Structure 1
């Protein structure tokens, strides 16, 4: 296994820990948030560097073209599931993401049976960018929720009623996060159409 593939594999291994640290309330929230930011940063950064390493070392092959998007699906679906489970990501957007991701995996599997690999598409890269922004905003919102709840000494949902700067930050993040998920839904549908068009060209 090449270095690029090992970096890709790390996303699959670390993804469940992101879900665990959000849901494991017995772990103190402040250190958990630090771990969550580290995990999120690595999952996104590693997606950028594994491809560059593969190209620079001439290790671009059919396995990598399938393994990298598979790892992307595992990592991003996992952190979206985590955000949906705590009420930050709308469930309808999560369903659209799930349908798209597994639909693309199915199309890639059909092409693989014919010995053809479908690489990344422009629509897929745009979609990945919207996923990253939505994930970043969601984690930022969750962080504000935690700190606001600690300041109030009550539950997570009370941050919106906290007076002053914290409430203002929370309100802005909530609005931006909501908008980002609408953008995610649109980009996800457009990306699926892009891949479907490419699939029809390759599946002969």
Structure 2
């Protein structure tokens, strides 16, 4: 049985926030969208805190190493899919983002099987931050005090898309380079 420490509980809270956001978005109003964005922000912040707590308090676990990136993908992917469902974001953008996430997850699994580690790099972390910055105004959707947040959200979403493709290519390159190194070392 897995004993959950504080860091892992925060990670699970990020996953449990997803149904709340999804339900709020099924009834889009200014208040529902504001509430969905606030839940999304709190859930996103748990990603920062679970990692800090795990490292500083010696709570790093294999379960946490598995669950943390999964929770990120579930949170961001679910919000993106809901925004497509509502017609607020183009599907092709979300397909590219989710394809990259799936590819990187698969590469990490293959690398782990080969005894290699493909750790998150600065581009992947920046991609995540920009995705969060994009999704917050996109979740607000409605005009607020004469300000339409959709334009800024869309701007950041396309920056996130470029970073998504670039960081995905970077992971592919690192995997290929490490794989070649292992092949040459064994041969």
| Alignment CA distance shift 1:34-1:175 (3 Å) | closer
1:16 to 16, 19, 25: 19
Matched residue, 2:60: 60
Question: Following TM superposition, by how much is the alpha carbon of 1:117 offset from its aligned partner in structure 2, in angstroms?
Answer: 4.2
TM-score computed with the length of structure 1 as normaliser: 0.77
Q: Is 1:178 equivalent to 2:181 in the alignment?
A: no
Matched residue, 1:2: 5
Q: Is 1:199 equivalent to 2:175 in the alignment?
A: yes
Matched residue, 1:125: 125
Runs of 4+ in 1 over 6 A off after TM superposition: none
Report if the CA contact (8 A) 1:66-1:117 is conserved: no
Report if the CA contact (8 A) 1:62-1:117 is conserved: no
Matched residue, 2:75: 75
Question: Following TM superposition, by how much is the alpha carbon of 1:202 offset from its aligned partner in structure 2, in angstroms?
Answer: 4.4
Report if the CA contact (8 A) 2:111-2:117 is conserved: yes
Question: Following TM superposition, by how much is the alpha carbon of 1:177 offset from its aligned partner in structure 2, in angstroms?
Answer: 2.3
Aligned equivalents of 1:202 and 1:49: distance in 2? 31
Structure 2: gaps spanning 5 or more residues: 183-187
Q: Deviations over 1:145-194 (max 9, x none)?
A: xx7xxxxxxxxxxxxxxxxx63xx12xx3322222221121010011012
Aligned equivalents of 1:58 and 1:122: distance in 2? 23
Report if the CA contact (8 A) 2:127-2:160 is conserved: yes
Report if the CA contact (8 A) 1:93-1:184 is conserved: no
Q: Could you say what secondary structure the match of 1:196 adopts?
A: helix
Q: How many residues align?
A: 177
Question: Following TM superposition, by how much is the alpha carbon of 1:68 offset from its aligned partner in structure 2, in angstroms?
Answer: 0.9
Report if the CA contact (8 A) 1:80-1:94 is conserved: yes
Provide the aligned C-alpha RMSD in A: 2.1
